[in-house]
Structure formats: structure tokens, C-alpha cells
Amino acid sequence: MASTAHTEVKGDNFHVTEEPHHEGHSTVIGFWIFLMQDMLLFCGLFAIFAWLGGHYANGPAPLDDGTGQPLFHLTPVAINTVIMMVSAFTCSMGMVNIRKENVGAALRFFGITALLGLGFLFMQYREAVNMAAVGATIQTSAFLASFFVIIFTHCLHVIAGLVWFVVLAVQINLHGLDDANERRAVCFSMFWNFLDITWVIVFVFVYLMGVLK
């Protein structure tokens, strides 16, 4: 930031005076900028899908997997949407308890969030297995390649969130709810909310728009 240092004129010399900042003063804005660039990564993937999403190479398509059945089943997708939505809520409730310094309740809410994240990953795994069973893999067509890259990238983010939860829980158990752990909890909550926002875009633009007829 421009305000972190200012110059003073003393005689003929210019001095840069460093102002002291407490640790972590720029963590939230820094993490926000990270999330924004992560959004640009997803934006690139969505732009690729917008172009390649209709290139089925005579293979499986969202409404017909080759056997007359739809490739995209809305029920598991709806379940995943509910899972992400509820987990964003439980994660935010964890933050309410962090603010009240209610560590046990906060960790329980974050734990529920992580369990919902595991459930989400399981649903995504099942979907990929079911798709592979009808010959729809990442190598089948440009449509499926761009589709699976989006899904895998999102799942990698969910896995990162789960690892973050474990690390956060260990840190809070070791050091209690100090300022550093509170910052980590804020960032975890921002990250998990970002996962839900990304999933909403996948849900609408990839799945729902794919099954319009």
C-alpha cells in the first residue's frame, strides 16, 4: 500500500521511514486479492467451456449419453447444490462463534462444514464413475474435457478447504483462539464461501444450461 511508507526531506537526503504495522494487518485484503485471481482462473475455464461445451464429437451429450438417457442427472446436482449452500451457512455460523470466542461451537460448525465437503466430493466421485460407465471420460470429447477440468479444479479447491480445516483445528487446539488463528478462521470462511459461489456458477452455466431443450 502506498501509505506504508512516506518520504521525509532532511537536508539533502531523502529518507524512507518505515511505519510499524502489527502482524497480519494486510492478511484479509491479501487473501481477498488471492480469491479474485482464483476467480479469474475459473473465468478462463468457463470461457473454454462456453466455446467447447457444444463439441460432443458424436459422443455423449448432456441430454443423451448415447443410450438415450441424459448424461447430466439433475438430482445429484441438486443435492450437491444444497450441500454447498448449507456448508457455506454452517461455515459462516462457525465464524459467528469465533467472534463470540466460543471455540468448541465454532469447531463443531467448521467440522460439519468439512463433513459436508466430504459428502460433496463423494457425490462428484460417484458422478464421474457413472459417467465413465457410459464411456464419458475426460478423453472422450472437447465438451467432456472442458467439463471435467472445471469439475476437477473445483474439487481440488474443496480438498484444499478440507486440508485447511484440519490445519486450523490442530492450530486452535495447540494455541487456542489467538489473533493468528482468528485470521486463519476468517480466511477459511472467505475461502469456503468462495467455493459455494463457484459451485453456483458451475450449477447454472454447466449443468442447468446444458439440459435446456
Partner 1 sequence: MSNHPEVHVHEHADAGGLGYGTQQSYLTGLGLAAALSAAALGLAAVGSIGTIQTTALILTAIAIARVYIHAVFFLRIRSTDEGGWTAITTIFTLITVVIAMVGSIWIMLHQEINMMPMPGTDAFRGM
22 binds partner 1 (CB under 8 A): yes
Q: How far is the CB of 13 from partner 1 (least distance, A)?
A: 26
Give the range of 54-62, 111-119, 122-130, 153-161 binding partner 1 by CB under 8 A.
54-62
186 binds partner 1 (CB under 8 A): yes
Give the phi and the psi of residue 173 in degrees, each rounded to 5.
-65, -35
Q: Which of residues 58, 129, 133, 139 is near partner 1 by CB under 8 A?
A: 58
172 burial (CB, 10 Å; 0-12 / 13-18 / 19+) is buried
> In terms of Cα–Cα distance, which of 187, 33, 28, 22 is closest to 4?
22
What is the rounded radius of gyration, in angstroms, for the C-alpha atoms of the chain?
22
**99-105: long-range pairs with CB below 8 Å, 24+:** 101/177, 103/172, 103/176, 103/177
54 binds partner 1 (CB under 8 A): yes
116 binds partner 1 (CB under 8 A): no
Yes or no: say if 94 and 109 are a contact pair by the CB < 8 Å rule: yes
Q: Is 31 helix (H, G, I), strand (E, B) or coil?
A: helix
Q: In angstroms, rounded to a whole number, what is the distance separating the alpha carbons of residues 187 and 209?
A: 32
Give the range of 6-14, 132-140, 158-166, 184-192 binding partner 1 by CB under 8 A.
184-192
107 binds partner 1 (CB under 8 A): no
Q: Which of residues 123, 124, 153, 182 is near partner 1 by CB under 8 A?
A: 182
96 binds partner 1 (CB under 8 A): yes
88 binds partner 1 (CB under 8 A): yes
65 binds partner 1 (CB under 8 A): no
Measured CA distances, 114 to 110, 163, 166, 191 (Å): 6, 9, 9, 13
Judged by the rule CB under 8 A, the positions of this chain that interact with partner 1 are 1, 19, 21-22, 25-26, 28-29, 32-33, 36-37, 39-40, 43-44, 46-48, 50-51, 54-58, 74, 78, 81-82, 85-86, 88-89, 92-93, 95-96, 99, 179, 182-183, 186-187, 189-190, 193, 196-197, 200-201, 203-205, 207-209, 211-213
